[in-house]
Structure 1
Amino acid sequence: MKTEHVMIGVSMAAALATLPLTALASASNAALAGLTITEAPRVTQTIDNRVVSALGNTHLSMLDSLAPARAVTDSTPMNHMQLVLRRSALRTTALSQLIAAQHDRSSPKFHQWLTPAEYGRAFGVADTDISAVTSWLISQGFKVNGVLANKMQIDFSGTAGQVRQAFHTQENHYIVNKVSHIANASDISMPAALHSVVVGVAGLNDFRPQALHQQPKIAQFNTSSQRFKIQLAPGANTRIGGAPAPMVNFNGGVRGFAPYDMQTMYNTSPLYGSGVTGKGITIAVVEDQDMDVSDWPNFVSQFGLGGYGGTFKQFQPLLSPDTGNCTDPGGNSPTGESIETVLDSEYATAIAPGASIWVATCNDAGSSNFFGGVFTAASNLINGASRPNVISASYGFGEGFTDTPSKTAIDMMWAQADAEGISVFVSTGDSGSNPSFNGSIINGRPAIDANSFASSPNDTSVGGSDTADVLDGTSSKYFNTTLNPVYGSAKSYVPEITWNQSCGNTRAAKDLIHGSALQFCKNALIYDPQGDYVTSESGSGGASSVDRKPAWQRIVHGAAKDQSRDLPDISLFAGSYGGYSSVILCTGAYPCKPNFSSPVVLEGGTSLSSPMFAGIQALIDQGMVSAGGSVNQGNAAPTLYELARNEFGGPAGSVPSTLAACNADNGSGGTSQCVFHNITDGGNATQCVQLQGQTTTDCYFYGTIQNLQGAGQAKIGLTSSSATKYDKTTAAFAAKAGWSFANGLGSVNTANLLSAWKSFNGL
């Protein structure tokens, strides 16, 4: 039933009786001592449906230039939308102060983490205001499924017709990049009396972030060459929107990295001998599809990880009381599983073999929310009774594909995780300076953007690196020619460059043609007139257009002199130029057998980098507990930047000798005493195109392809901050000493990182 007036005088008790509100914590927390968190209700006027106004930026502005294919029928279900609430300025300031204090060693609130209920009581919207909003939703015919413990989100369901009536916006079908989507055509409007406590609705469109892995490759091991031979499927798609054809053919086969190789490169192995394996620490990987549960024990057995005591479980994280927003997405079978889920779970274990791995999955179809199952899984964990120590999310989409309520919900979610002590790691993306084009080519959009899932100041964003040995011809220095009993070959740390599979790879250009990336691309255009090798595949980085730069990101040499939250913070191996190196997966369809007697899957992407760093954090967490510290560390980034300042120097003044000493180019001998391997060579400027009828900005065009992969005439270029000049000052983005948009602070020596982390915390 729809009414013209909803009076605030409705008793709070009656309103709360309709929802499963989570009870407040009864015990006090030292972290909240001295904080001013009491406030009066902000909804103080009668809620009148005749007095409405728009909430700005509550639709995707990128759709304004597109004609809808058709309207969504009124009967279409809109399930588990999230009404995103707006906390008061007082509580916003108090939360920022608390999180800063939780990371300040000199504060009595240092590492004093909150429960979800404590968080909601201190920093959520007041119960009376929640009661007013939920009463209005019910009056519009919506079903209110529940209020999250954080008191910042109301889960509700209805139909497209109810959305149109209540929020004064039409849900339409749109075709974007040949894919059909649902989205609201305009900003929503709602009673003006509620504006002070409502940001908007997350879940009015279905533009969800995508898994950030490469196209998986099936490969057969050759015992003579100790390499894998890629088995290309007949008719494999190499056209625009699909996986690019390999630019380099390795006739002798390609390299498959085992967990041993990652452990050796990032120096985790010495910690295992001292008992630091991640034992007692829980890593949750959040997903929207299941995996075959037989994969994980097969992986552990194949690579000799069974003696460390790690555990695995796959489940759907539910709220208490359950709102019904997380259902099993399915896929627990060899043919239906998600490669992303397999990759995340196996390579978190590869680094932290003693940790408990939670594969938390929720169904996209069970939620209309913008981020679907991945967002729901993470949010439910963070608001749940049983929470992990570490979360890895290997998904993303650019901020240009994200409406304000959805972006607000993401940032609130990661801030809550930080306040609870959960360390969150998010992949930055696999398509260079715009993370929205994984597996395709940047086109028809600004070529520079940042992953909206990673650009919160309360998570640690993880970019992608590549080993330099193949291009440099130094593989024999860093790798054995014969695999060891656990299928590894790495001898030590290997110099790293930015992962970039396009002709924009400056290190490839220097080594292969002794020239610039621009000349390399122009040369490639001569030999590739159809654009079959054009790709944007590269580790992503960029500046947020939404979130401001946190104070800790300003303190290190090389920090961008902007006001934006910049990505990435850190990098680990993600892939290689030409596709020569990948990690080995054990899947249901291609299980690992002794000596790889049958085909396996080779994989990469920043989807690999994030769970590996989650594994590193699990080692840090256990090491801190062993030294008498807190089991939870919260957001890792503030500590990482403080430690990097010790090696790289500050944003101004002279730099220490360790800036040069810790250059990744120095290899294992030169960087053995360093915490960071500062990646200074390469960059993630990649190819971008402009097809007829499109506009692609932030792209320096250097040529034209008459029929790009069968899609018609296209201008082709490299991602750049200038449309008229392309060099290392405009390329988006070049690696450099200190922090960079290409690789953040670089990669890490984990044993040294743990030692420095302990020292930084006075242990």
Structure 2
Amino acid sequence: MALSRSTMVAILTAVPLSLVTVGAPALAQPTPAFSPLVASVVPGLDKAVRTGALPGSQRLSAAVSLKLRNQSELDKLLADQAAGHARYFTPQQFRDRFGPTQGDVNRVTDYLRSRGLSVTGVSANRMAVDVSGTADQLGAAFGTSLSKWHDASLGRDFTSTDSTPKVPSALSALVNGVTGLDGHYKSARRSAEVPGTGRSVGNGPAGGYTPAQLRSAYGLDGLGEDADGTGQTIALFEYGKFNQADIDAFDKQYNLPTAPVAVKDIDGGNTDGDAAQSEVEETVEVVHAIAPKAHLVVYDAPNTVSGEIDMWNALVADNVPVVSSSWGLCEYDRSLAAMQAVDAVAKQASAQGMTFFAASGDAGAYDCERDTGTSHAADLAVDFPGSDPHVTSVGGTRLGLNADGTRSFETTWNQGGGWATGGGVSMIFDKPAWQTGDGKRQVPDVSAVAYGGEYSLYLQGSWTSGGGTSASAPLWAAYLTLVNQRAGLIGKLTVGSLNPKLYALGGLAVNDVTEGDNRFYKAGAGYDMATGWGTPNGVTLGDALLG
């Protein structure tokens, strides 16, 4: 069933079920009482057709997400960190204080194994339990059945549950949801394939801006000749592969002193072929343009909900300082369980001093419009994970340069044809304390150049021009990496969670973008839901963040 806006909000704010003591006799019962995991309802099934039961012997994988402990204490810690009154946690400290206990994990895994499922892994923070089993076993374990479905608008078949998954009532206070039993919607790139304009704006081989022009536009040269990312690490959150030879061609053209990009496969990595290659190569090259000597790691997972959660958990386990994602999906097309599972790990990232950037989307204020097969294309919507309060959502601009490389103008990215920077109001997440007023979380937080054709890139064997918020997000990640490099040189902590610090500055240290709209919301002085606070202002913003 599809969830309405009011239903999803009601689910998110519902009071959790009470914890019931779990004993061996209860777990041994063949038919325990079940409680529904209402947040795990698959979105958009009303648009699909059930074509038959899944063969009972077919093997599948799933992920069971567990809830955080001591939530109010965690919220206070995050507030104290934002105010500079508390140090960052290590992954182990976070797990021991806020993650599920080992006893909690054992209760869940004991039940899963009692249903014949294989526990294939437990995340380091204990917040995700990966399992595999047959369709019959998974159906019985979660009080449902599994079927084959077809969505004509997507042009593909997928697997989904026939009803809301359930867990034994004795475990309902521990389990947030189950993901992986559905494959209806997949995350989409935000996007290297924005159509170019045919105009030449920069000195790059395809008419786009060069790394030197991008650095000059945002005042990064003022950070010093040694501001190159040395000693820093950036992770890219991806669902695809890249060709190192393409990256090498880009670096050679601009004489960039880079090292080969490292790869870390999660759950075997993505096996969908090269459909996403241009997306990955774009994000790598944008990072190299700004922070060429940073150690760059591409985290690559299957484009599934379980793969997404496992990749988040791997990133916080590795405690990567800065992460960028150019993939997303509008909130309507996500299960609430998946968003809650990611939000829990995003809180861990913030507590550890990590900074996570995500593209705001490329369909303007109508984020679902870019999602194939959605029933919400005409609705105002925003992109997840950028809508999460613990993620910095990055929108897009159109940039013009003077002859000396400085900015001549910058306006909201809206180039027609439905291509525009994402922004608006979340229907899921409450407005955090650092955003003013009541209501829900607003995005984007910041922006950078995204107009089609304004990046000169070497993708899949040839020079081309690209754009989209999939470029502006890694640009911000690379910029913050330069700020973190400077922090280390002067004995300061890394910036960590950017949003609270950024909003505390009130727009005093960014390039405010005041012109244009994103098909609904207009830019103006100060914060707006077209471009957020604005674009990077090199040394000025760096000094303010480290002050």
TM-score, normalised via structure 1 length: 0.64
The residue type equivalent to 1:643 in the other structure is L
Match of 1:344 among 262, 270, 283: 283
Match of 1:267 in 2: 219
The residue type equivalent to 2:215 in the other structure is Q
Match of 1:84 in 2: 65
Contact 1:113 1:419 in 2 (8 A): yes
Match of 1:370 among 288, 295, 305: 305
Match of 1:643 in 2: 505
Shift of 1:219: 11
Work out the number of aligned pairs and report it: 522
Match of 2:516 in 1: 682
Contact 2:187 2:327 in 1 (8 A): yes
Match of 1:585 among 438, 444, 457: 457
1:485-536 Cα deviation digits (max 9, x unpaired): xxxxx6201321111122xxxxxxxxxxxxxxxxxxxxxxxxxxxxxxxx32
Shift of 1:626: 1.4
- Distance in 1 between the 2:504 and 2:420 partners? 27
- Distance in 1 between the 2:330 and 2:542 partners? 33
Partner of 1:380, secondary structure, is helix
- Distance in 2 between the 1:187 and 1:633 partners? 41
- Distance in 2 between the 1:294 and 1:428 partners? 29
- 1:58 and 2:6 are equivalent in the alignment: no
- Distance in 2 between the 1:214 and 1:437 partners? 17
Question: Structure 1 residues 444 and 621, CA, compared in 2 at 3 Å: closer, same or farther?
Answer: closer
Shift of 1:426: 0.6
Shift of 1:42: 6.0
- 1:353 and 2:328 are equivalent in the alignment: no
For residues 61-460 of structure 1, what are the structure 2 equivalents within 5 Å?
Answer: 61-64=43-46, 66-79=48-61, 81-88=62-69, 91-105=70-84, 107=85, 109=86, 112-172=87-147, 173-175=149-151, 177-180=153-156, 181-206=158-183, 207-215=185-193, 255-273=207-225, 275-306=226-257, 310-317=258-265, 325-327=267-269, 329=271, 338-364=277-303, 369-370=304-305, 372=307, 374-384=308-318, 387-438=319-370, 444-460=376-392
Contact 2:364 2:423 in 1 (8 A): yes
Contact 1:312 1:358 in 2 (8 A): no
The residue type equivalent to 2:239 in the other structure is D
Partner of 2:435, secondary structure, is helix
Contact 1:317 1:381 in 2 (8 A): no
Question: Structure 1 residues 586 and 445, CA, compared in 2 at 3 Å: closer, same or farther?
Answer: closer
- Distance in 2 between the 1:228 and 1:278 partners? 25
The residue type equivalent to 1:313 in the other structure is V
Question: Structure 1 residues 122 and 326, CA, compared in 2 at 3 Å: closer, same or farther?
Answer: farther
Match of 1:552 in 2: 434
1:517-573 Cα deviation digits (max 9, x unpaired): xxxxxxxxxxxxxxxxxx32111012111111111122xxxxxx4421111000001
- Distance in 2 between the 1:227 and 1:627 partners? 35
1:89-144 Cα deviation digits (max 9, x unpaired): xx111111112222222x2x2xx222222211111112222111100001111110
The residue type equivalent to 1:87 in the other structure is L
Question: Structure 1 residues 441 and 74, CA, compared in 2 at 3 Å: closer, same or farther?
Answer: closer
Partner of 2:383, secondary structure, is coil
Match of 1:734 among 522, 529, 533: 522
Contact 1:425 1:610 in 2 (8 A): yes
Partner of 1:316, secondary structure, is strand
- Distance in 1 between the 2:47 and 2:196 partners? 41
Contact 1:644 1:676 in 2 (8 A): no
Larger Rg, first or second structure (1 or 2): 1
- Distance in 1 between the 2:265 and 2:21 partners? 33
Match of 1:573 in 2: 449
Question: Structure 1 residues 358 and 444, CA, compared in 2 at 3 Å: closer, same or farther?
Answer: closer
- Distance in 1 between the 2:407 and 2:373 partners? 32
Contact 2:68 2:98 in 1 (8 A): yes
Contact 2:515 2:523 in 1 (8 A): yes
TM-score, normalised via structure 2 length: 0.88
- Distance in 2 between the 1:280 and 1:419 partners? 22
The residue type equivalent to 1:413 in the other structure is V
**Percent of pairs with identical residues:** 27
- Distance in 2 between the 1:356 and 1:215 partners? 26
- Distance in 2 between the 1:228 and 1:312 partners? 22
Shift of 1:608: 0.1
- RMSD between aligned residues: 2.7
Match of 2:484 in 1: 621
Partner of 1:741, secondary structure, is coil
1:282-305 Cα deviation digits (max 9, x unpaired): 011121111111222322221132
- Distance in 2 between the 1:227 and 1:436 partners? 33
Gaps of 5+ in 1: 1-39, 230-254, 319-324, 470-477, 481-489, 503-534, 555-560, 591-599, 648-674, 686-731
Shift of 1:758: 2.5
